[in-house]
Structure 1
């Protein structure tokens, strides 16, 4: 059996042992699109007994937690890890930002984006939601928690505390309950947060990648990420709960490898389940107890079911959707806005017309997502792997074989939006 530290080897014609993770991202990608497509195109079909958006968040963050620390440990080199992450995330991210800004004469940039330099600083770090700045594309807010997780994992790795994922997941889950009870929103506010965090982020990552005071820089970045998560997130208890879920994913991976138990995962799940029940900042329909608990149960069942099927051949459409899922995540919401701008409000249209328009919109989204993957994502990932190997030398052997391991949540993320462009 291949270990987490070595590239996977698969017999010709056999299914990839990690294809189940791509299939999970494919399922999540469908949830992402449905979360935003249904309210605009087929509102009568939107479910309210669970939240498609939160379901996607939980599934994708479990995947990130399961994979990202393993990718770092397998690289064994934070420089290679961050080089790979940069070329995985930023090229398409910047391309979508450029698209939205270029089309702003037609569809204005959302009001949640400040019209000053703080928006530039926040987008530069991806720490949008934890400095209370809206992203130019509605779904970008979830990347904030992915970036926070990367910074925390890097700090834990350099101080050799990364094996304590279960304990960390429980601590964050407990923090989500406590923060929800005492905090009604971001404690720290203002554009200065975006500027300061950008400066620290740039200087810290330069040191981490360049090897100057690497341990100190990684710890400073981790502490900054923790402070922003708990003190300046739009919904602090939700941010802590999301990070808890990611570390629970890591704990599952440790358990699978015989390096830990499942009890931290169970405790984390229980604490996350109760976190919004008494939170001061709540009231949205998706945190009503029946909806919230059902959503958590469905996400857990989806992850467990896919894990039980690992090693088996899975539907090609799901693994393909997982492959293009990061493009799908970033481009689908702007494209839906442009599509509706052309067709007009479809919510009161006859059902047959709604169905036709929904199919056309979905085809457009999938086609452009596939093109974005082919001509933006894949070439940049290849360049990133080449630079990672060059920078790390022999120590980075195998870094070019990330495959599914290089996906994480960045493959696709969902939104807790209400379908109108507003997110929690």
Structure 2
């Protein structure tokens, strides 16, 4: 699975580049595709490919969720603490409400699908990871999880329809975050304890879909992301001889045209040419890595994949500090900006290595031990 780690490393660096270049080297930022969305799509394809396989190989919902909790939350909570400390110098984003809804949304990671901003900007993608986990769990418990190609096509079609119908979240206000927070905690407790596990899985899966379509910032975009993730699962099934390949092409076509008629598609990176180019590059990167998976993967890329979660979550809070120390960096000389960029990347990688060694790695090992013990 080293090729998947390498893909995570490539995705993380692309997101860092998207956020760093406008501040330090704006002339190098490409506009014929979106680097950040390219990296995010690579991440989602990897998650779609491996997460359902992880659940199925375990065959145990409790073990799966123990593993996910210890994989995601320790570093996530650390970054929340870091962001709050940085708020001493850089105010917290206005998109983060200062009430119970903000706490609930961060607790569940369902930030984007309850229309609440995260303390660290990249946290929005974790919303769709969590929606995917909840939905896959419900499908697994029901025994209908192998029809991944159908789900990819369905969510691709929903993305098109949602783009035509919705121009804002239907379920507004703070209550989606608060209610989903209560349901999430209750349902997760049931999944881990085994009490009312089936009911909890169905409830959480249904809640995830409702939030995605009726409470998310951009419903068509959320549905398109789920289509991409299920496309990754469809690839896995085709590769192992348990599903056809054609749904991959069908869902890709639906995702490609999903923003064309969307009301909420005014950003430059969802204009058809840029959007399709970004999708194609992400798909080509995934396909190339898969084709080369039997060859020796460069250790640097594998290492970047191991620390990619830390790189992804830490890079933006760290980047927000730079203007506090150096002002508008675009006014500095090229030599100074290159030095700042190099120093920033070196600091980011060093911190990411440290958080992986001290937080991520130990937490993952503990999660695996607990998962094996409860399986």
1:123 equivalenced with 2:101 (yes/no): no
CA contact (8 A) 1:123 1:135 kept: yes
Correspondence for 2:314 = 331
CA contact (8 A) 2:15 2:37 kept: no
Correspondence for 1:345 = 328
1:247 equivalenced with 2:235 (yes/no): no
Under a length normalisation based on structure 2, what TM-score does the superposition of the two structures give? Answer: 0.99
Correspondence for 1:416 = none
Q: Distance in 1 between matches of 2:12 and 2:43?
A: 9
Give the root-mean-square deviation of aligned CA atoms.
Answer: 0.8
Q: Distance in 2 between matches of 1:211 and 1:51?
A: 43
Correspondence for 2:269 = 286
Q: Which has the higher contact order (CA 8 A, sep 6+)?
A: 1
Deviation at 1:113, TM superposition (A): 0.3
Correspondence for 2:372 = 389
1:372 equivalenced with 2:365 (yes/no): no
Question: 4+ runs of 1 displaced by more than 4 Å?
Answer: none
CA contact (8 A) 1:82 1:209 kept: yes
Over residues 168-199 of structure 1, what are the superposed CA-to-partner deviations in whole Å (9 max), with x where a residue is unaligned? 11000000000001111211111111110001
Correspondence for 1:158 = 141
Correspondence for 1:211 = 194
Deviation at 1:99, TM superposition (A): 1.1
Correspondence for 2:288 = 305
- Write out aligned runs for 1:7-156 (5 A): 18-156=1-139
Correspondence for 2:206 = 223
CA contact (8 A) 1:19 1:311 kept: no
Correspondence for 2:173 = 190
Correspondence for 1:358 = 341
1:272 equivalenced with 2:255 (yes/no): yes
Deviation at 1:342, TM superposition (A): 1.0
Correspondence for 1:178 = 161
Deviation at 1:27, TM superposition (A): 0.8
Q: Distance in 2 between matches of 1:293 and 1:165?
A: 22
Deviation at 1:354, TM superposition (A): 1.1
Q: Which has the higher helix share?
A: 2
Q: Distance in 2 between matches of 1:103 and 1:26?
A: 26
Correspondence for 1:5 = none
1:322 equivalenced with 2:293 (yes/no): no
Q: Distance in 1 between matches of 2:102 and 2:216?
A: 15
- SS, match of residue 347 in structure 1: helix
Q: Distance in 1 between matches of 2:61 and 2:163?
A: 33
Q: Distance in 1 between matches of 2:374 and 2:299?
A: 35
CA contact (8 A) 2:16 2:36 kept: no
CA contact (8 A) 1:132 1:232 kept: yes
Is the deviation greater in 95-104 or in 229-238?
Answer: 95-104
Over residues 149-181 of structure 1, what are the superposed CA-to-partner deviations in whole Å (9 max), with x where a residue is unaligned? 000000000000011000011000000000001
* Unpaired stretches in structure 1, ≥5 consecutive residues: 1-17, 393-424
Q: Distance in 2 between matches of 1:231 and 1:25?
A: 30
Deviation at 1:103, TM superposition (A): 2.3
